[in-house]
Amino acid sequence: MAGFFVTDARREGKPFLFAVALIAALGGFLFGYDTGVISGALVYIKGDLGASSFEQEAIVGALLIGAAFGALGAGYLADAISRRWTKVLSGSIYTLAAIVCAFCQSPDQLIAARFVLGLSVGTASFVSPMYLAELPPKRIRGGLVSFNQLMIVSGILAAYIVNFALKGIGADNWRWMLGLGAVPGLMLAVGMAVMPYSPRWLIERGREEEAKDVLRRTHEEQDVDEEVESIKKVASETGRLRDLIGPSVRPMLIVGLGLAIFQQIVGINTIIYYAPTILGFTGSSASSAIGQTVAIGVTNLVFTVVAILLLDRLGRRVFLIAGTVGLTVALAVLGAFFAFGTLQASASALALIALVVYIASFAVGLGPVFWLMISEIFPLEIRGPAMAVCTIANWTLNFLVSFTFLSLAADIGKAATFWLYAGIGVLAIIFFILRVPETKGRSLEGIQRDVTGSSRRRRRHQSELRSA
């Protein structure tokens, strides 16, 4: 995987881009590690701290609420102190909060510590794709931005492996699981301190020569002046918060929010956070279930690599739509498994297969495409606030789905719960076909004109139909 990015960077004559992507995307690794590690840690936190079902859901949910607040402030910070220093701050907070989590003595303390951890995760999840979108040439932007998604799933897999490795060392194993997150947090803080500023952020502040110096490290020399002029043209337009609902931006906001909401309400984080619990529903022991989640993590990583290799070649829409179809089918099968006892008796491996297919489908579609597209579709002058709105919506729905999964499965049944997610998947497919544009190979500024123009043509067509 690293070889792919090195090859792409060499093709552009700028291997420095690989180093930028590797360090910047550590924010995604933090997101992934904490997403994955809690699934195994909960099994042991329950016994060691005496956490009730509600407290377990709160331990998961506290990070998600914190992440929503982190994303809310990230847009302001990214503009005020730069993308670079916002990520340094995020890594520093994550490092401290991870260490505090390891020493908590009660569920309440752990809930509070994970809320602070969430502030960092939400900030990093917002700023990482923004920073990665603003540095590379458009020819390889999709691959480099999606490197953030690769780091997310790498973090999830690393967490599953850590959980598996530490599952037998005693009652305090969950402390090591959570505390080890301080290592990538420190790497992010130190690494971003030596990374360049975003050229778009520099130009917004009149630091054009500094911006050119950065662009010379990431672009061909003959493209630098053109890129600067393109950025300056858009940066000269002052955006206001109310512009988010204006006619020129509204179509893009609808697309961004649609991607943000559907990415969560198809149930992805019920799988990530509760994979051992779901496998436990099938009769697997706690130790066996934690081991099986490693297979899910490996699948997630492999198919994310497939998507990243091809996103800049085949486009975003084909993976988004095909992946959502695949996960919808997997959810329907998972529902059928829990609905019919004969399947559980005669095909006990079907649940694990369905989970693997679900994760593979998500990894090639909604996983990378959401984060990539919200970094592409918004105009520069309101990109920060617009991405913040989408990221907050994503984290909020993440919380609602994750916090209600156990209760929903108990109230309406496991089969009905997964069928509900499958029905939402069908709605997502329809939305993606009708509203999501292709952004492959387009400049960030050109995508803005394309999405706005498509919306105007659609409104004009509807007006003509009404008139007729």
pLDDT at 3: 45
Encode 430-442: b = buried (16+ Cβ within 10 Å), e = exposed: ebbeebbbebbeb
Residue 397 structure tokens: 């729905």
Q: Quote the longest CA-to-CA distance of the chain.
A: 74
Question: d(Cα 372, Cα 317) in Å, to the nearest integer?
Answer: 12
pLDDT at 239: 55
| SS3 assignment, position 239 | coil
Residue 135 structure tokens: 């540095």
All domains in the chain, ordered by first residue: 9-195+237-467 (1.20.1250.20)
pLDDT at 465: 42
| Residue whose structure tokens are 């789905």 | 401
Question: d(Cα 361, Cα 331) in Å, to the nearest integer?
Answer: 11
pLDDT in tens, the chain (468 residues): 444 444 454 455 457 777 888 888 888 888 889 878 888 888 788 888 888 878 888 898 898 889 888 888 887 898 899 999 999 999 999 999 999 999 999 999 999 999 999 999 889 877 887 888 788 777 776 666 667 778 888 898 898 899 888 877 767 889 999 999 999 999 999 999 999 999 889 988 889 899 899 888 888 888 788 888 877 776 655 555 566 676 667 788 899 999 999 999 999 888 877 777 777 776 666 667 777 888 888 998 899 888 878 877 887 889 999 999 999 999 999 999 989 888 877 777 888 899 999 999 999 999 888 878 887 788 766 777 788 788 888 888 988 888 888 788 888 998 999 999 999 999 999 999 998 877 776 665 566 665 555 555 545 544 544 554
| H or E element at residue 378 | none
Alpha carbon 455 to chain centroid distance?
A: 27
- Which string of DSSP letters, residue by residue, matches 243-298? GGGSTTTHHHHHHHHHHHHHHHHTTHHHHHHHHHHHHHHTT--HHHHHHHHHHHHH
pLDDT at 128: 83
Q: What share of the chain is helix, strand, coil (3-state, %, to 5)?
A: 85, 0, 15
- Using a 10 angstrom Cβ sphere, with 0-12 exposed, 13-18 middle and 19 or more buried, the burial of residue 4 is middle
Of the chain, the end-to-end C-alpha distance in Å amounts to 55
Alpha carbon 30 to chain centroid distance?
A: 11
pLDDT at 362: 94
pLDDT at 120: 93
pLDDT at 7: 45
- Which string of DSSP letters, residue by residue, matches 37-81? HHHHHHHHHHHHS---HHHHHHHHHHHHHHHHHHHHHHHHHHHHT
Question: d(Cα 442, Cα 315) in Å, to the nearest integer?
Answer: 11
pLDDT at 461: 43
